[in-house]
Structure formats: structure tokens, C-alpha cells
């Protein structure tokens, strides 16, 4: 059981690292986060009335 937990944790970290390298990071910039991801990704508002 412990071996399964350790293996899963190591593989998860490995995959996250690969994705981070491939995509240039897992987070958006602070400016894009403040502006809203709908606007920065799709150039439109997701919630018009807010």
C-alpha cells in the first residue's frame, strides 16, 4: 500500500513537471488573473451582468 502511494505521488509530480515545461507554466500571469480568464483567453466576457 505504501509503495502505491509513493509511486502515485512521484508520478503525479513528474507529470505536473512535464506539463509545466511543455506549456510554460501552470498558472496565468497576475494581470490575466485580475482581468479575468474569459477575456484573456477568448476575448469575451463570460458573465455580462457582473
Give the residue extent of every domain in the chain: 23-50
**What band does 3 get if pLDDT is binned at 50, 70 and 90?**
very high
pLDDT digits (tens, 9 = 90+) for 16-38: 999 988 888 778 888 887 777 77
pTM score: 0.54
- Distance, CA of 36 to CA of 27 (rounded, Å): 13
The pLDDT value recorded for residue 31 is 85
* Confidence check: pLDDT of 41 > 80: no
- Distance, CA of 23 to CA of 20 (rounded, Å): 5
**What band does 50 get if pLDDT is binned at 50, 70 and 90?**
low
List phi, psi (to 5°) of 44: -155, 160
Amino acid at each position: 500500500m505504501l509503495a502505491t502511494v509513493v509511486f502515485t505521488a512521484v508520478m503525479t509530480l513528474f507529470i505536473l513537471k512535464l506539463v509545466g515545461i511543455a506549456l510554460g507554466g501552470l498558472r496565468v500571469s497576475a494581470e490575466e488573473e485580475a482581468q479575468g480568464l474569459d477575456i484573456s483567453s477568448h476575448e469575451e466576457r463570460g458573465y455580462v451582468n457582473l
